[in-house]
Structure 1
Amino acid sequence: MEVVAAAGGGDAGIQSPAPGCCAFFVARKRRYCKMSVAAGRALCGEHAACSGTGAPVANERRRIVCPLDSKHTVYEDVLEKHLKKCNAREKSKPAYYVRDINCGENDDLPSKEQVALSSLSAEEMSALISKVQGVFQGAEAVLELRVLSHPALQQELTDPSNGKSALKHLQQQASIVGHLSSLGLLGADRCYVEFGAGRGKLSHWVRRALPGATRGVSFLLVERCSTRFKVDGKHQEGDVDFRRLLIDIQHLHLGKVPQLQDKGTSVVAIGKHLCGAATDLALRCLMETLPRHGTRAAAPGLAACGEEAPGQAPCETGTGPTLGIAITLCCHHRCSWPAYVGKEYFCSQGLGPKEFDLIQRMSSWATCGWRRPTDQVPDNGNEDATREERASRQGGVEWHAEEEMEAIDHAAPCQAEDQISYGRSRAEREQLGRLCKRVLDEGRVRYLREWGLTARLQRYVEAGTTVENVLLTARSATAS
């Protein structure tokens, strides 16, 4: 039978499909499908259905797209049976799933039709920039650079076989762990909750950094989708409990998680590059879904926006089991006004939903100049893998470096309409972008302070390590 391939399969340097394997070229992976095929077929069952190029066979069973998940197909005659066991089917929700509990108020949404930055006149743009610049003056806008490390990562940091990209990744993790240590947040009788955990590398290093006594220590890794090459599997046989919560942060009620509900353990929240609104969702989850004592400090800021502050009614809230926080921030262009926890501070500065929409997009000016060219293909070789990652690879399994995928996932949009210079140089626009990020982050700091935590922002690594180099830390007065 003639081998059939999808368009694009003839690129130079790409190996032909192996004998007995599917001849469908997967453009996204730049290789042929590796699934086995039936005798006399050129394509596997999956691609014979989606490509329309499979050879017709008498009385062939027809495959159709699964109505629950368009990413896979199923034989039509067993559809009913498949729907009962499909991984995309509606599953019973755990007790800690409370729909949209951390999403914030939705009654003050700005217009769904975004105002393009390019549509602003020079006078309007200058007025907006003046407002942003007026929030901080001089040194207040510049965050302290405090690069720390921890002995737990010393071996990996000095391993010459680690590539440049992997080393940058390790330097970030080492500094985060170092900050946790300096805040007194590494210790017994606490649960570490990693938001946006991905493969769980940050939790892995926090566990390695813990002192010998791990009494009452546990880890909860929160991620909204399943991830390959998870490293928390290395700790399943140890004395510390590692568990994953497969849930979107916006629906997570931490107070109903059995591990926290039963033990009443203090929580330390960690996260590496928690993207955009996910940071706000995580902070609200920590402050407003765990049992607390006292009251939240009043903040009149939202009155300036003509809105009532959510949560200002008498409530049993205040300093509680959140012992500390260490989260690195990124992707401010993905923030949203409803989820944003710093509304009160934002409005107290004479800014509102309309300005928020513009400022969060202007924040991309700080990072878009650092993006890798779109025509570059990530190098998946040893350059981007740490020694531990190389040792844990499975033979024949394709692996993508976490740091490369993170750089792609977190890239700023840099749309042409948002790149008008308005008479300002690229360096000036990058500085304005950083200032926009600073304003948004300050609202998060003020929010945590209202709940009784000591919170601050600082640069935890050099910009050459990662341009998204701001760390948000917070500490309860009860932290040892």
Structure 2
Amino acid sequence: MAAPMPGRCGFFVEKKKRFCKMIVARGKVFCGEHATMEGGVSRRIVCPLDPKHTVSEDKLDKHLKKCNSREKPKPVFYVENINAGSADGDDTLRQVRLGELSRSQLESLVEKLKAGVKGLQCDVEDNVLFHPVVQEELTNPKNGDSAHKHLKQQSSILGHLETRGLLGRGRCFIEFGAGRGKLSHWIHEALKTPDFLKSPDLLLTQGDLQMLLVERSSTRFKVDGKHQDPGVQFERLQVDIQHLDLGRVQMLQLKKLPLVGVGKHLCGAATDLALRCLLGAPRPKDGTEPPPKRLKTSEPESTDQMSESGALPGPGPGPGPGPVLGLAVALCCHHRCEWRHYVGQQFFLQQGLGAEEFSAFCRMSSWATCGLRPTNQEHRLQDTTNLRGDDEEHEPAEETDAVNSFLSSSEREKIGRLCKLLIDGGRLHFLQTRGFDGRLCRYVDTQVTLENMLLTAVPSSPS
């Protein structure tokens, strides 16, 4: 390109071998980013709040007062690290790197893993369910492969909510890691019955419906703002789950509807933070963690605690929002788990395992889904470099020569699955200590996603 396009910046971007395409002001040659090329223009510097953009040096003070990256007042429901685990030992805890381990150390880890999984009292079955409310969208030819995969997952999650008795009105669904809010959208669609729409008076019998969406980042193309049905209240909180105190959310305090936690692919530590947020966590002996929160499990003292919808509350809270009826969370990215936030620390310690083994198992868990590359010996048998079969983003699996020397790709995949199962076993143990019956199942086929494990829980029987 010999010259810039008309009305566009005249700065030549060497890296891209073309002129900048930004529109310039009338009478100007360069855009705002490259205005320093013109004489008499103030030098542009990197914004100290966000290095992703620049600002004129002489306008820095004015910019800092309105920059979108400036620190904003914290909402009332923000309580720093309320759902985080104890920070004791974090400074000395060294993250295990598989590349630094010898073959004998790796073999020892595998033996510890197999011994820990052997004692697990949980059966993981294939249980792919379906909900008819998604059928029309599944047959829509405008949806591509990626949209169909997400719809199948959402349909199965709805089916499991219904099977566990959690899909109904008169309760509040809290979607952790909501993103665009599609899971909440389909829960709302499933509970939008024709009879209810014809007669709003049925609010008295069917109960209200609340949808609380929790997402730490600003998200485009959200769908929750499109719902304006009577008796249904949508609210979105932009906050990290680590700092969310449900007891301070005004919407939950007003009607105290029973709570149902949901989530689709809560990556790594986000699952543990969501469990702590919903069910609370015990206070450590040193007192460094916040006290047990408003959703501490206990049996209801009387029938007066029944919700207006007639549903029996789960292990109930004290002051704060309503009781917890259950949860359904699609798990994901165990390699992003953190020992500090992990709710199954007690379970690991009972198995004779600690933080270092946990760190190693988290890294090894990625063998189950990320870039299952054959060893050199297996290249003769198969020419496959990626067996994932989905379009979700995952970090590449960490592999070493020591690993490849005694483990085939299929063995690595099996070990990765066992690592995930052991980590999830700690979560089941945590749910049991809180008075819940937790279950794991493969809720969709591996052709849809290799991260196909669903964690559900409802209150245990009074027995």
Q: Same fold (TM over 0.5)?
A: yes
* Pair 1:314–1:472, CA change in 2 (3 A): closer
Aligned to 2:38: 56
**Take 1:30 and 1:148, find their aligned partners in 2: how far apart are those partners?**
52
Question: Within 5 A, what are the aligned runs for 1:163-174?
Answer: 163-174=144-155
Question: Within 5 A, what are the aligned runs for 1:214-225?
Answer: 215-225=207-217
Q: 2:259 aligns with which of 252, 267, 271?
A: 267
Q: CA deviation at 1:33?
A: 6.8
Q: Which amino acid in the other structure matches residue 127 of structure 1?
A: S
Q: CA deviation at 1:311?
A: 8.0
Q: 1:406-460 deviations in whole A, cap 9, x for unaligned? A: x22xx13323448832411100010000000000011011101111111111110
Answer with 178-187 or 417-426: which moved more.
Answer: 417-426
Q: 2:137 aligns with which of 151, 156, 160?
A: 156
1:281 aligns with 2:288: no
8 Å contact from structure 1 (residues 141, 438) kept in 2: no
Aligned to 1:471: 454
8 Å contact from structure 1 (residues 367, 412) kept in 2: no
Q: 1:178-202 deviations in whole A, cap 9, x for unaligned? A: 1111112121221111111111111
Aligned to 1:93: 74
Question: Within 5 A, what are the aligned runs for 1:399-478?
Answer: 404=391, 407-408=392-393, 411-417=394-400, 420-476=403-459
Q: Which amino acid in the other structure matches residue 249 of structure 2?
A: V
* Pair 1:63–1:110, CA change in 2 (3 A): closer
1:84 aligns with 2:65: yes
8 Å contact from structure 1 (residues 109, 353) kept in 2: no
Q: Which amino acid in the other structure matches residue 164 of structure 2?
A: L
**Take 1:249 and 1:133, find their aligned partners in 2: how far apart are those partners?**
32
Q: CA deviation at 1:69?
A: 1.7
Q: 1:226 aligns with which of 185, 205, 218?
A: 218
Q: Which amino acid in the other structure matches residue 335 of structure 1?
A: C
**Take 2:352 and 2:292, find their aligned partners in 1: how far apart are those partners?**
27
Q: CA deviation at 1:19?
A: 3.9
**Take 1:27 and 1:250, find their aligned partners in 2: how far apart are those partners?**
43
Q: 1:156-180 deviations in whole A, cap 9, x for unaligned? A: 1122332222211111111111111
**Take 1:66 and 1:277, find their aligned partners in 2: how far apart are those partners?**
31
Aligned to 2:311: none
Aligned to 1:382: none
Question: Within 5 A, what are the aligned runs for 1:245-260?
Answer: 245-260=237-252
**Take 1:28 and 1:163, find their aligned partners in 2: how far apart are those partners?**
34
1:20 aligns with 2:22: no
Sequence identity, in percent?
52
Q: Which amino acid in the other structure matches residue 333 of structure 1?
A: H
Aligned to 2:309: none
* Pair 1:449–1:126, CA change in 2 (3 A): same
Aligned to 2:325: 323
8 Å contact from structure 1 (residues 342, 447) kept in 2: yes
Aligned to 1:197: 178
8 Å contact from structure 1 (residues 309, 344) kept in 2: no
* Pair 1:44–1:417, CA change in 2 (3 A): farther
Q: Tell me the SS of whatever aligns to 1:412.
A: coil
Aligned to 2:25: 38
Q: CA deviation at 1:118?
A: 2.8
Q: CA deviation at 1:139?
A: 10
**Take 2:76 and 2:103, find their aligned partners in 1: how far apart are those partners?**
52
Q: Tell me the SS of whatever aligns to 2:45.
A: strand
**Take 1:183 and 1:100, find their aligned partners in 2: how far apart are those partners?**
31
8 Å contact from structure 1 (residues 187, 210) kept in 2: yes
**Take 2:144 and 2:293, find their aligned partners in 1: how far apart are those partners?**
51
Q: Tell me the SS of whatever aligns to 2:126.
A: coil
Answer with 67-76 or 432-441: which moved more.
Answer: 67-76
* Pair 1:33–1:283, CA change in 2 (3 A): farther
Answer with 347-356 or 139-148: which moved more.
Answer: 139-148
Q: Which amino acid in the other structure matches residue 432 of structure 1?
A: I
User: How many matched pairs?
Assistant: 413
Q: CA deviation at 1:221?
A: 1.1
Q: CA deviation at 1:309?
A: 10
* Pair 1:110–1:447, CA change in 2 (3 A): farther
Q: 2:370 aligns with which of 368, 371, 383?
A: 368
Aligned to 1:180: 161
Q: CA deviation at 1:271?
A: 0.7
8 Å contact from structure 1 (residues 187, 211) kept in 2: no
Q: Tell me the SS of whatever aligns to 1:420.
A: helix
Q: Tell me the SS of whatever aligns to 2:87.
A: coil
* Pair 1:225–1:139, CA change in 2 (3 A): closer
Q: Which amino acid in the other structure matches residue 57 of structure 2?
A: E
Q: Which amino acid in the other structure matches residue 274 of structure 1?
A: L
8 Å contact from structure 1 (residues 276, 332) kept in 2: yes
Q: CA deviation at 1:3?
A: 4.3
Q: Which amino acid in the other structure matches residue 20 of structure 1?
A: G
**Take 1:226 and 1:30, find their aligned partners in 2: how far apart are those partners?**
33
In the alignment, structure 2 segments of 5+ residues that lack a partner are: 197-202, 298-314, 317-322, 374-384
**Take 2:189 and 2:47, find their aligned partners in 1: how far apart are those partners?**
43
Q: CA deviation at 1:266?
A: 1.5
In the alignment, structure 1 segments of 5+ residues that lack a partner are: 5-17, 290-295, 377-402
* Pair 1:43–1:126, CA change in 2 (3 A): same
**Take 2:234 and 2:93, find their aligned partners in 1: how far apart are those partners?**
41
Aligned to 1:10: none
Q: Which amino acid in the other structure matches residue 426 of structure 1?
A: S
**Take 1:443 and 1:134, find their aligned partners in 2: how far apart are those partners?**
14
8 Å contact from structure 2 (residues 331, 451) kept in 1: yes
Q: Which amino acid in the other structure matches residue 230 of structure 1?
A: K
Give the TM-score normalised by structure 1. Answer: 0.77
